[in-house]
Structure 1
């Protein structure tokens, strides 16, 4: 009996662990929302967070997470600004559906590179630091087919991670959850097979509990994929807080100068910012908002449907109702406790001031990344007659007072090179100083000799009596003479001559990067090739258009001389911003409405130079020093007047003829250097017709 007792009382920890694991597959997990699961298990890794710590959801995040985990809700869209924690909520959702729900998932990023970066910096650090994930992912930190950049195999489920540019990335995948991050960065038509949302939705059609989650910072009005999703939702929600004074709920809004709600501040003092309640008119500061946020709720436009922190839907009377199948949230930076309201006001004031000078890029960025709203570009076309009417009586070839730096943009054509010289002053106020057309085939050395003579030897007389030379030049390398441009720019790099090429569509900056060019104009490999600079043409043209709307001389204003021919003004108004059908869908781009727009293009290259030399960032002290060098306090009392008598007709009829004539003109009679056109020998050279 003693032997039998010993057998009956036998205990084995190993056997107990095996039985627990085996029987665990038949168990039912404790009911838990994503918000509850994250509060218990989720962790912020040091590589991808401001502070390494356990997750603590902000008040506005809790309902979003609860809705993502609600089986009755099929589609959740999130139109957002930056700095509101969407990436962390998405990461927590992935972990929750792996460990708690054991559901197959697919996550698409805009490109393969974005996907790989997300896996390395976000996903893998989360799998390392969230302890509960170690049981769900035995292959963590091991090299095998179950742990790759494209797929990770967990206990009972799979996670696919893909870039979203290729249609094949959406094929042969059957999942329960389809997740898309930064939706507006995707192509609107994936290789002509459809938009990314439609392709991703096909992957969850057969699931028992299909789920599609998409989030993004919005882009351009009318072309934003996330805004289109936001509009299509059954209901659109904003986070509302109870007013400390009247108790009525209201969302945080930016408002406006004449609006009876939103942010208000005194003069230009960001620290005085308060939020105006639309119900009672009381003003609250950020501290009062943070205190009221835990009692907040999500509500639709008319507050007829609300969502509490637990994700419970209610009607206007407070009764619980069924969850909607497709919902959308909008949240912007003001809700984040990590950013002060005063900082947001400073960002806006800075962007607004730049917009007044014609630079709308900062205001666009503020609208997209701070307000979480689409940018609506109010651009149609420039009127050539209006530009002509604002022309001023100063001589071409002369430099007016206030203009202290000369930059040149050049455009190559099959039978000529056109050069436009722009003068810059404080605040990027600019003047069209001169133009020159050097006729001849750009593949021949003689025409480049004329270009070099004009760019490097011409001296322009300033109103102070000083003489200025062109400080820098940007030459378009597109067209049929690319290698000739490369050779000239490489040979004159020390004289600040740059080869440029326009890049429209997906550009991120006016100065949109550079690449080394290793082949010379005769096709031979060069050890030290020219540097080709990419120009964000849409952004540069937006900047020019914005400046043309400035009506008073000062920062950003553009001056024109009355000596300029009509053709110049027509070319400056020769493009409009319009929708175009591209391989990646419909996009808004600047498009030509006439054949010749060389003056407009050369102005774009001058703006690139302005950006390259960072003239907009120069300090007042820098401008003071340059102005003292160029136009000292004591001007030249014997300087010849530089204005022309009004009304004045263009005095250089030959030049007017040349800028308008598309074919080879008659040879000019002036000596070299006397005209802004080429030398007398230009007509003896061959050129393409």
Structure 2
């Protein structure tokens, strides 16, 4: 017995799995979690297998997860970081889409984990101590180092070799990084010298054809989390089409919500989900793709634990997204964990031309219009703009389309900009006598940027903003970025440029151009000529390959002049900035009944740029 006890003592302590480590050591603080306290894998049992394949004992080298949002998958990756620091130290790289996201995650998730989990607190020195090796982008610990980098920086992806690599939200990465190639490929090359490397790739998907995570997932054995029906015991993975409910549109309430078993057709209540999750199992649906070194998982928000996002919440979110492309895209991406297929088929311009309405250009035809916006496109020898009136349900009326002639830069350019300024000072009269002026103007700054920034810089950003279009942006508007323009030793400070997801808006507009009168999003037009409607439908979405062989989607012009399409989308972006996408019926009523008269054109600051 003594000899056996001596030999047992010589045995190395077994290395924990990632989920075991998290359950024993991870503490969540109130800064980084809505559920502070001890981490419990039992709350999200679908993460156990994913985490454990990232540990030392698993032969798997690459774990791929296509997911909905707020399911704890990134938190599982944070657990993996803690596990690496504590029990399996080695060089590790953590990549987020941008440097700004890296810094946010470092501050709000990684550093709180280091401070609140006792087993980690002594292994990474406090960031404020001298020579701590603890910065926003670097965490040194005995036996290893954690580097954090943005996917938009090639320098951060081609330095030291790493044994472990976590690539978070890869669908937000740039397709080509500084002409050096795909950032995912650049980062994965850093692991090539290690025999037992581990790579964790996860993302909420975006647009079909542009998504990176979808083809990666489809190349794997495609595992889904199968749950037993509490009535018949048969296994199934949760699908949106099997969620049943009654929706009251006026009160925006979903009632009688249940999940219908695909085998016995019995209704499953959400209160039964916790027990079902405890008995869940990951099953490959494409066994022909099985590879012991590479596995793929899909999980959607129907699996969200009780107290997180409910089935009722999902039903309401879906119903509110019907007829609204940006909202439906968000629902597909973040709730279902699926790509959204944009409609890029050109509407027939002839059909739009034939449905023109006999209301005067430059006049507001109905009291239903709540506010006006303008989209502005800048050309070398002219400025083109459209004024659009918006009604409840995102129904729109084109009020006027104008071309202001004059060179926008150089000697004599002041005149054409003064014409644009005059448009801001115009008022339109609704049939009920209400005076209206342009609530928000978006001006394209893709060309002649300094002139656009100078013009916009004279007005408050609540009235006029410079914008730039981005094809691959998944939101209507991104956070603004400051610019500083100097021309002829005169500077324009405090101007911020807003990026617009033009591909998303083109797809939304093409959908609206197909709906029937009275439906949400319907577009009304006065008696414009053929050229306007050809321009409005001038582009088509095609799928092609880029120079690196990756599938991409791009909009291609089928008609020479596409200004009407661009300008309409800029006016739509302006409506989003006014807040239209979050208006309630009561808010629409308040906007319609507002009788404050014209918005006064206050100049933000003095400028002699145009003198």
The alignment's TM-score, normalised by the length of structure 2, stands at 0.84
Distance (Å, rounded) in 1 between the aligned partners of 2:217 and 2:437: 51
The count of residues paired between Structure 1 and Structure 2 equals 574
* Pair 1:153–1:484, CA change in 2 (3 A): closer
2:269 corresponds in structure 1 to 285
* Pair 1:158–1:487, CA change in 2 (3 A): closer
Q: 406, 411, 435: which one pairs with 2:401?
A: 435
1:183 aligns with 2:167: no
1:227 aligns with 2:195: no
**Secondary structure, counterpart of 2:540 in structure 1:** strand
1:246 corresponds in structure 2 to 232
* Pair 1:558–1:334, CA change in 2 (3 A): same
Distance (Å, rounded) in 2 between the aligned partners of 1:164 and 1:626: 42
Q: How many Å apart are 1:484 and its aligned residue? A: 4.9
2:158 corresponds in structure 1 to 171
1:263 aligns with 2:243: yes
Task: Tell me how large the CA RMSD over aligned residues is.
Answer: 3.4
Q: How is 1:285-324 mapped onto 2 (pairs within 5 angstroms)?
A: 285-301=269-285, 324=292
Q: 51, 54, 61: which one pairs with 1:65?
A: 51
Query: Could you tell me whether the CA contact under 8 Å between 1:402 and 1:426 is conserved in 2?
Result: no
Q: How many Å apart are 1:100 and its aligned residue? A: 2.2
Q: How many Å apart are 1:432 and its aligned residue? A: 1.9
Distance (Å, rounded) in 2 between the aligned partners of 1:171 and 1:493: 42
1:569 corresponds in structure 2 to 533
The alignment's TM-score, normalised by the length of structure 1, stands at 0.75
1:602 aligns with 2:567: yes
2:341 corresponds in structure 1 to 376
1:654 corresponds in structure 2 to none
Q: How many Å apart are 1:240 and its aligned residue? A: 1.2
**Secondary structure, counterpart of 1:265 in structure 2:** strand
2:148 corresponds in structure 1 to 161
Q: 55, 60, 69: which one pairs with 1:82?
A: 69
**Cα offsets for 1:601-643 (capped at 9, x unmatched):** 322232133222224444444544665678xxxxxxxxxxxxx
* Pair 1:399–1:166, CA change in 2 (3 A): closer
**Cα offsets for 1:144-170 (capped at 9, x unmatched):** 164344443333333333333333333
Query: Could you tell me whether the CA contact under 8 Å between 2:125 and 2:134 is conserved in 1?
Result: no
Q: 280, 297, 302: which one pairs with 1:334?
A: 302
Query: Could you tell me whether the CA contact under 8 Å between 1:430 and 1:559 is conserved in 2?
Result: yes
* Pair 1:252–1:143, CA change in 2 (3 A): farther
Query: Could you tell me whether the CA contact under 8 Å between 1:498 and 1:531 is conserved in 2?
Result: no
Query: Which ranges in structure 1 are unaligned for 5 or more consecutive residues?
Result: 1-24, 256-261, 306-321, 631-689
2:316 corresponds in structure 1 to 346
Q: How many Å apart are 1:42 and its aligned residue? A: 2.0
Q: How many Å apart are 1:508 and its aligned residue? A: 5.3
1:96 aligns with 2:83: yes
Q: How many Å apart are 1:591 and its aligned residue? A: 4.2
Q: How many Å apart are 1:529 and its aligned residue? A: 6.1
Query: Could you tell me whether the CA contact under 8 Å between 1:486 and 1:521 is conserved in 2?
Result: no
Query: Could you tell me whether the CA contact under 8 Å between 2:326 and 2:475 is conserved in 1?
Result: no
**Secondary structure, counterpart of 1:555 in structure 2:** coil
Q: How is 1:542-621 mapped onto 2 (pairs within 5 angstroms)?
A: 542-561=507-526, 563-579=527-543, 587-621=552-586
Distance (Å, rounded) in 1 between the aligned partners of 2:48 and 2:344: 40
**Secondary structure, counterpart of 1:525 in structure 2:** strand
Which range moves more in the overlay, 401-410 or 581-590?
A: 581-590
1:211 aligns with 2:191: no
Distance (Å, rounded) in 2 between the aligned partners of 1:531 and 1:375: 30
Query: Could you tell me whether the CA contact under 8 Å between 2:158 and 2:187 is conserved in 1?
Result: no
2:330 corresponds in structure 1 to 365
**Secondary structure, counterpart of 2:377 in structure 1:** strand
* Pair 1:192–1:100, CA change in 2 (3 A): same
Q: How many Å apart are 1:568 and its aligned residue? A: 1.0
Distance (Å, rounded) in 1 between the aligned partners of 2:506 and 2:312: 32
**Cα offsets for 1:16-69 (capped at 9, x unmatched):** xxxxxxxxx996222432222222222223321112211111221222222222
Query: Which ranges in structure 2 are unaligned for 5 or more consecutive residues?
Result: 1-8, 596-611
Query: Could you tell me whether the CA contact under 8 Å between 2:468 and 2:497 is conserved in 1?
Result: no
Q: How many Å apart are 1:275 and its aligned residue? A: 1.0
Distance (Å, rounded) in 1 between the aligned partners of 2:120 and 2:200: 22
Distance (Å, rounded) in 1 between the aligned partners of 2:417 and 2:193: 66
**Secondary structure, counterpart of 2:21 in structure 1:** helix
1:39 aligns with 2:23: yes
Q: How many Å apart are 1:379 and its aligned residue? A: 1.9
